[in-house]
Amino acid sequence: MNRPARIVLGVTGSIAAHKAIDIASQFTRLGHEVNVVLTRDAQRFVTALPFKTLSRRPVVTDLYDEDEGWKPRHITLADEADVLLIAPATANTLAKLAHGMADDALGCVALALNPAAAVVVAPAMNGKMWEHAATRANIGVLRSRGVEILGPDNGLLSCGYEGVGRLMEVERIVSRVVEILGARV
């Protein structure tokens, strides 16, 4: 790209939400513009402050957050994005994306997204939730729409189980998104 990529980083309500802070930091260090959208549930795990500090950009925490002016912030982000990365993505978020739910800022960004933008989702959840037929069906719908799914990985889960459900390693997420952006030049 001839300019820094515009990355919208959606963060949802998972214990892995703290890893999204590192994702934002790495993209910023690479020279990209990172705009973070925190869901209400994500804010139970992390706050806007580290994202705002590391990205040097305002953080959207509510559907009704606005820039100065008349255009809603979530629409501006959707219009200007080169990629929408949702990391971590919960089972609830996957279901909402698959069914076109737009009841929060992240859902609205996803539905209003610039058609040229890539959509990348990095799930993180309990292994039983990941393997559930409803989640598998939602993943199928998202893949059929061109959404790239990164992970989840195997390992020790926060619920105490061992198995699939861990957020993919941050470095691998960042590397794959950089590859996707490079292919869009």
pLDDT tens across the length of the chain (185 residues): 567 899 999 999 999 999 999 999 999 999 999 999 999 999 999 999 999 999 999 999 988 876 666 778 888 999 999 999 999 999 999 999 999 999 999 999 999 999 999 999 999 998 889 999 999 999 999 999 999 999 997 776 676 667 678 899 999 999 999 999 986 54
Measured between alpha carbons, how far is 75 from 95 in angstroms, rounded to an integer?
A: 21
User: Can you give the residue range of the structural domain that contains 107?
Assistant: 6-183
**Per-residue confidence (pLDDT) for residue 146, from 0 to 100:** 96
Domain harbouring 157, CATH code = 3.40.50.1950
Q: Is 41 a member of any domain?
A: yes
Q: Which of 49, 111, 137, 159 is catalytic?
A: 159
Total count of domains within the chain: 1
Judge whether 108 counts as a catalytic residue. Answer: no
Q: What pTM did the predictor assign?
A: 0.93
Q: Is 1 a member of any domain?
A: no
Q: Is 112 a member of any domain?
A: yes
Taking CA atoms, 33 is separated from 28, 36, 106, 118, in Å, by: 6, 10, 17, 15
